Amino acid sequence: MISLGRVCLTAFDSSWVTVIALRGEIDASNAAGVGTCLHEFVAPDRALVLDLSDLDFLCAEGVQSLFALGDRCERLGVDWALVASHSVRRLLRVYDREASLPAVGSMVEVLQRFRSARRRRAQLRVVD
């Protein structure tokens, strides 16, 4: 567990996915540090799940950190999703009007999303 001010970060790794759970508050005092820390977990060989279901507060700088994380994942070709609490989803509706962040309501939705992405990639493979 990593403590960054008012937020605690716990990471779980498996062979194909890293799950990062955040609990507490992301505010102006820790948003930059949280963003930097999250970037360190992005790896091209595994999917990333950001679990914000236990996050009590997310400031505007924290939302910007999520956009930056999304940009990094896109550049590296990493499938990713974030599980958002009701309050975080409400905030994202304001800041992410184009729904560019892959926010879902549950881990079940994350698994469905990743399964669909893998199927699409399998269909796109070139056959010799």
Q: Hunting for tokens 């992405």 — which residue is that?
A: 117
Q: Flag whether pLDDT at 121 surpasses 70.
A: no
60-76 vs 31-39: helix crossing angle, rounded to 10: 10
| 20-39 confidence digits (pLDDT tens) | 999 999 999 999 999 999 99
Q: Please report the pLDDT score of residue 127 as a whole number.
A: 55
Q: How confident is the model at residue 113 (pLDDT cuts 50, 70, 90)?
A: confident
What is the number of domains present in the chain?
1
Whether the Cβ atoms of residue 51 and residue 20 lie closer than 8 Å to each other: yes
Q: Please report the pLDDT score of residue 122 as a whole number.
A: 57
Distance from the Cα of residue 111 to its chain's centroid: 13
- The residue segments making up the domain with residue 92 are 2-124
Q: Flag whether pLDDT at 126 surpasses 60.
A: no
Whether the Cβ atoms of residue 61 and residue 95 lie closer than 8 Å to each other: no
Sign of the torsion angle spanned by Cα atoms 106, 6, 35, 2 = negative
pTM over 0.75: yes
Q: What is the mean pLDDT of residues 37-64?
A: 94
Looking up residue 104, the CATH number of its domain turns out to be 3.30.750.24
